[in-house]
Amino acid sequence: MKVSVISRVARSLTSRRGARIWVAAVIAVIAIVFGSLSSLEAPARSDSSIVNGSDSAQVQQILDENSHDSTTSALLVASKPDHSALSNQDKTALEGLSTELSAGAHVTGGRLMISEDQQAAMLPVSWSTVSKEADRQTLEDLRNWITQHPAQRLDLQVTGSTAFAVDITNAFAGADFTLLAVTVGIVALLLILTYRSPVLWLLPLSVVGIADRSASLIANLLGNLWGLSFDSGVLSVLVFGAGTNYALLLISRYRDELRTQEDHRQALAKAWTSSFEAILTSNLTVVLALLTLGLAVMEDTRGLGIVCAAGLLIAAFFVLFLLPPVLAMSGRKAFWPLVPRPGSVIKKENFFGRAARLVMLRPGLNLAALIALLLVLASALAGTRIGLPQVQQFRTATESSSAMEQLSAHFPAGEAQPITVLAHPDQIDALGSQLADVHDVKRVGPVRDVGDSDWRQFSVVPAIDPNSSQAQDLVAKLRTVAGNNGQVLIGGPTAQQLDSHQMHLRDLYVIAPLIMFICFAMLGWLTRSWRTALALGLVNLLSAAAAVGLGSLVSSLVFDATALDVQVPLLAFVFLVALGVDYTIFFTHRVRQDVQNHELEPAIEQAASRTGSVITSAGLVLAGVFAALATLPLTVLGQLGLIVGLGVVLDTFVVRTLLLPALLHTLGASGRPLFGGTSRDAKHATEPITPKECEFHA
């Protein structure tokens, strides 16, 4: 019944009348979606790292609820271009700057502080808070005023939490368009090189482009309905990458069938039927893996997973139900000038077939060598640090990060960003003394009341850089010491970074096993053999670990970063495992089909020859579009694009080309069935194929 339904859908999509109906129906749906959702604005990117329910979030909430101070502050940092000491004239000019800022930029200046080495000065400024948008506009006005009224012989820069938020917003101004343009350019170039046709590449690119726009509109709707925060650039990269992969698989199968079928519509129907299971399995694997991100604590991770899952469902829908009727209406001429016709000479073996045959000459030894290579690459994870300092969040220096570096270089490390401690009155004195004795604590500040609440507040000034991993370790030590003193809350920017770091790791430890289980289950459904599925799943996991290890090494050179951003491990794992398994699915699905009529070794060799070019093209497309993330200004996206791009190349040229043929041959040589269900493997290759089997696999 299942095959009959699929066959009827395939005939409907490709028949002369059915193709027109499908195109008209999909266009009508597109018109409705575009018309009703085009005016909907995308949700704003989240610029807060506060974790709901964490100690640092509770501290912030208590302070906000009991504060009558409705002001926002920033820090104006002054230094000389030649790094020389500030002169008395410079100091006088900076002291007068406070009055000038009040009149010109409508901010209030605080007390000017000079560093001990006399090479930098810090001037706190504040203004009345109306809203986040108004705060950011005030900060932009402050910077514009400083630009229009430059101080002689001085560099003036503004930093602080609001300044970092403004720099993030400015960094993304126009970045989504740039990313989309680069992505489309990469996909177009690779499709032209793949098809060597001036016409054919336009069809999948147009369909996937429409899918991307539809996915963006649906994502905006979901984001506004459910309050999701996500990066639209990553969504576009996924839709273009995965959608193009599906299209390449379908068109490759279609081209093969055109060499045996006179009627191009019958050839397309057979190609759609043959590739439907592989595309569906691949898509559902990635979608289910992305949906597990909905269990994440971190809002940015949760939102990205949900909208990307919806985007990939939309991509698969357009490739499966719009591209086939478009191809049917275009006919063979879409492949011009290399039009495939019945009787066309097909190379029985190409580079990929020869590579598979060579590794199968000594499959055990080659399999062990390839696994050893992946283990060596994965071993780089042992030295990988997780957690970027705030000043390394941008790939290129911003005003806020440069000013923060100046503060760290010339002022006591923790003075500009102390740790906040809240405790009850009966604990405060003893607690302050205990925390002052902790290593890396420079001093403990005076105790203050927190509004009318029962809380008391004091600051702990660290003797180390408050944005470093050592400062986060210090917060953890302070919390351990404070744990013996009743209810104590420790917050502040450094504590927020620690809580964010811990929750990102928590999400990784909870979600990664679920993703592996999903991939294992989908491979089991595809192969009908849990033994084969387990082996393929472990190889996929090892490949992902190798890619992250290799990517972390390359990232330290390309981005000059001391660590991976805390978001990268989970997102890279999701994309590497879920997208990397695509090529395993495409290849294994073809082996499972070819083993019906051949013994295992020739079936693997033929599957490698038939799928080699399309999987390589798909891998290069996916690696290329993820590499396009490097055009965005944030280090986290650059690292993510680099790691996933390298991982896809590793999957394409090492795992699928060499390791999988050796693995499947080794598993098949054990005498146990490689595939379950109605599949025929090496053990049963000499048995006749029944008519029923032929009907199932038609």
pLDDT band at 693 (very low <50, low <70, confident <90, very high): very low
634 close to 393: Cβ distance less than 8 angstroms: yes
DSSP 420-482: EEEE-HHHHHHHHHHHHTSTTEEEE---EE-TTSS-EEEEEEESS-TTSHHHHHHHHHHHHHH
pLDDT band at 610 (very low <50, low <70, confident <90, very high): confident
340: tokens are 């495939």
Question: Which residues are CB-contacts of 506 (< 8 A; sequence separation ≥ 6)?
Answer: 297
In angstroms, the CA 620 to CA 638 distance is: 18
What's the confidence (pLDDT) of residue 51?
84
Least confident residue range of 305-309, 329-333, 630-634: 630-634
Which has more confidence, 624 or 170?
A: 624
Most confident of 49-63, 309-323, 341-355, 611-625: 309-323
677: left (phi over 0), alpha (psi -120 to 50) or beta: left
Return mean pLDDT, the chain: 86
What's the confidence (pLDDT) of residue 340?
87
What's the confidence (pLDDT) of residue 696?
28
Mean pLDDT of 225-242: 87
pLDDT band at 349 (very low <50, low <70, confident <90, very high): low
SS (H, E, C) 648-664: HHHHHHHHHHHHHHHHH
- Report CA torsion sign: 554, 560, 564, 566: negative
Calculate helix-pair angle for 568-594, 493-527, nearest 10 degrees: 10
Most distant CA pair in the chain: distance in Å?
98
Least confident residue range of 225-234, 350-359, 435-444: 225-234
In angstroms, the CA 374 to CA 352 distance is: 20
Mean pLDDT of 207-223: 94
What's the confidence (pLDDT) of residue 698?
29
Q: How many helices (DSSP H) and strands (DSSP E) are in the chain?
A: 24, 10
**Each residue's pLDDT tens digit, 136-188:** 889 898 999 998 888 778 899 998 888 888 887 777 666 667 777 888 888 88
73 close to 125: Cβ distance less than 8 angstroms: yes
Long-range Cβ contact pairs of 184-193 (< 8 A, separation 24 or more): 184/209, 184/240, 186/621, 186/624, 186/625, 186/627, 186/628, 187/240, 187/244, 187/621, 187/624, 187/625, 190/617, 190/620, 190/621, 190/624, 191/244, 191/621
User: Do the domains 418-491 and 347-380+508-698 match in fold?
Assistant: no
481 close to 435: Cβ distance less than 8 angstroms: yes
Q: Considering only CA atoms, which of 393, 346, 487, 6 is closest in space to residue 163?
A: 393
In angstroms, the CA 179 to CA 239 distance is: 13
pLDDT at 113 over 60: yes
In angstroms, the CA 693 to CA 687 distance is: 12
Question: Which residues are CB-contacts of 517 (< 8 A; sequence separation ≥ 6)?
Answer: none
**Each residue's pLDDT tens digit, 368-403:** 999 999 999 999 888 888 887 776 777 777 888 888
* Position 182, amino acid: V
Mean pLDDT of 636-660: 90
- For the chain, the 3-state helix, strand and coil shares in percent, each to the nearest 5, are 65, 5, 25
Q: Which residue shows structure tokens 């576009």?
A: 236
Least confident residue range of 91-100, 278-287, 342-351, 540-549: 342-351
* Position 623, amino acid: A
Which CATH number is associated with domain 66-171? 3.30.70.360
Q: Considering only CA atoms, which of 451, 421, 423, 424 is closest in space to residue 438?
A: 421
Least confident residue range of 25-39, 40-54, 71-85: 40-54
In angstroms, the CA 446 to CA 460 distance is: 10
**Each residue's pLDDT tens digit, 579-604:** 888 888 889 988 988 888 888 899 99
What's the confidence (pLDDT) of residue 686?
33
What's the confidence (pLDDT) of residue 179?
78
pLDDT at 526 over 70: yes
Q: How many residues does the chain have?
A: 698
What's the confidence (pLDDT) of residue 169?
77
What's the confidence (pLDDT) of residue 695?
32
Domain limits of the chain?
1-45+174-346, 66-171, 347-380+508-698, 418-491
In angstroms, the CA 204 to CA 318 distance is: 10
What's the confidence (pLDDT) of residue 689?
35
What's the confidence (pLDDT) of residue 687?
38
Calculate helix-pair angle for 55-65, 493-527, nearest 10 degrees: 130
What DSSP state is assigned to residue 631?
Answer: G
What DSSP state is assigned to residue 50?
Answer: P
∠ CA 259-264-269, nearest 5°, is 100
pLDDT at 220 over 80: yes
195 close to 335: Cβ distance less than 8 angstroms: yes
What's the confidence (pLDDT) of residue 622?
87
Mean pLDDT of 494-505: 90
* Position 296, amino acid: A
∠ CA 85-91-92, nearest 5°, is 150
pLDDT at 681 over 60: no
**Each residue's pLDDT tens digit, 321-345:** 999 999 999 999 899 888 888 876 5
pLDDT more than 90, % of the chain: 37
Least confident residue range of 103-107, 280-284, 286-290, 350-354: 103-107
In 437-529, alpha helices (H): 469-482, 493-527
CATH class, 1-45+174-346 region: mainly alpha
57-68 as b/e, with b when 16 or more CB fall inside 10 Å?
Answer: bbbbebbeeeee
Most confident of 12-26, 32-46, 473-487, 661-675: 12-26
328 close to 264: Cβ distance less than 8 angstroms: yes
pLDDT more than 70, % of the chain: 93
CB-count exposure of residue 698 (10 Å: 0-12, 13-18, 19+)? exposed
Which CATH number is associated with domain 418-491? 3.30.70.60
Q: What pTM was estimated for this model as a whole?
A: 0.83
325 close to 245: Cβ distance less than 8 angstroms: no
Cα end-to-end distance, the chain, whole Å:
13
pLDDT band at 2 (very low <50, low <70, confident <90, very high): very low
**Each residue's pLDDT tens digit, 543-552:** 999 999 998 8
What's the confidence (pLDDT) of residue 557?
81
Which CATH number is associated with domain 347-380+508-698? 1.20.1640.10
- In order of 83, 111, 140, 152, 157, the CA distances from 94 in angstroms are 17, 10, 20, 11, 13
